[in-house]
Amino acid sequence: MESVSEYILIGASGHAKVVLDILEKSGEKVQCLLELNPSIKQLFNHPVFEEGDFFIKPDHLVIVAVGDNKRRQLIASKHNVSFGLAIHPEATIASYVKIGTGSMIMAKAVINPDVTIGDHCIINTGSVVEHDCELGDYCHVSPGAVVCGGVSVGEGTQIGAGAVILPGVKIGSWVMIGAGAVVTKNVPSDSVLIGNPGKVIT
């Protein structure tokens, strides 16, 4: 009989609700959630502890269930633990895809062949990552976004809901792509892009 992993989620807000649902639908066991906000004591039927009040064991699998990329990076970097994966049963993941530890793939997401996704990424509901793409650690592809073939995305970049990245574009690290933007050209690191066609505004 296949053993069931015990997961610990760090974070207990809206994003954690989605990750918790993914794990439960995948047949995984969530023991508890950890949260800095002491007013949150329970999420659905799961207890919530303050960080520091619960000991993470070596055999636990941890997911940082926090939507904000910088905060997710900060939390993950200070924990020397084993990170798991949360992949919704209704996500479509092709062969020859590499997904880093701690990443979260939501319902109806599509990831096509020869894609590499870094650690602690979020591929959100109904988004598409086409063939031959590479996403760095801590990226977030928001709901309904489309990343066309051959795109590279640097660490920590947020692709807004419904945005479209055209084939072969290179996006730097810690970029914010606005909702509904259409990215037609390369985007430098630490910038904000909005509009159709997309324009860098900072």
- Residue 119 confidence (pLDDT): 98
CATH code where residue 13 lies:
3.40.50.20
In the chain, which residue ranges form alpha helices assigned H by DSSP?
14-25, 69-77
**One domain for residues 55 and 115:** no
**One domain for residues 97 and 164:** yes
In a domain, residue 179? The reply is: yes
Which among 77, 100, 129 is the end of a domain?
77
Rounded to whole angstroms, the Cα distance separating 136 from 116 reads: 8
- Residue 1 confidence (pLDDT): 39
Q: Number of folded domains in the chain?
A: 2
CA distances from 65 to 44, 86, 144 (A): 15, 10, 20
- Residue 39 confidence (pLDDT): 84
pLDDT tens-digit profile, the chain (202 residues) = 355 679 999 999 899 999 999 999 999 999 999 987 878 888 888 889 987 778 888 889 999 999 999 999 999 999 899 999 999 999 999 999 999 999 999 999 999 999 999 999 999 999 999 999 999 999 999 999 999 999 999 999 999 999 999 999 999 999 999 999 999 999 999 999 999 999 999 8
**One domain for residues 61 and 111:** no
In a domain, residue 194? The reply is: no
**One domain for residues 70 and 94:** no
Q: What is the CA radius of gyration of the chain?
A: 17
CA distances from 39 to 1, 49, 52, 56, 72 (A): 39, 10, 15, 21, 20
142-149 own/partner pairs: CB under 8 Å, 24+ apart: 142/179, 143/106, 149/112
In a domain, residue 1? The reply is: no
- Residue 180 confidence (pLDDT): 98
**One domain for residues 184 and 139:** yes
CB 100 within 8 A of CB 120: yes
Domain hosting 43: range is: 6-77
The active-site residue, picked from 46, 60, 79, 131, is 131
**One domain for residues 59 and 89:** no
For residue 108, give the nearest of 133, 94, 88 by alpha carbon: 88
Which among 77, 99, 119 is the end of a domain?
77
- Residue 10 confidence (pLDDT): 95
* Bond prior to 197 in cis (omega within 30° of 0): yes
- Residue 58 confidence (pLDDT): 86
In a domain, residue 196? The reply is: no
CB atoms within 10 A of CB 93: 18
In a domain, residue 10? The reply is: yes
131 catalytic per annotation:
yes
- Residue 54 confidence (pLDDT): 83
- Residue 136 confidence (pLDDT): 98
- Residue 191 confidence (pLDDT): 98
**One domain for residues 103 and 10:** no
Phi, psi of 90 (to 5 degrees): -95, 10
**One domain for residues 69 and 19:** yes
- Residue 159 confidence (pLDDT): 98
Rounded to whole angstroms, the Cα distance separating 175 from 189 reads: 6
- Residue 52 confidence (pLDDT): 75
Q: Which two tokens stand for residue 155?
A: 């660490």
**One domain for residues 152 and 62:** no
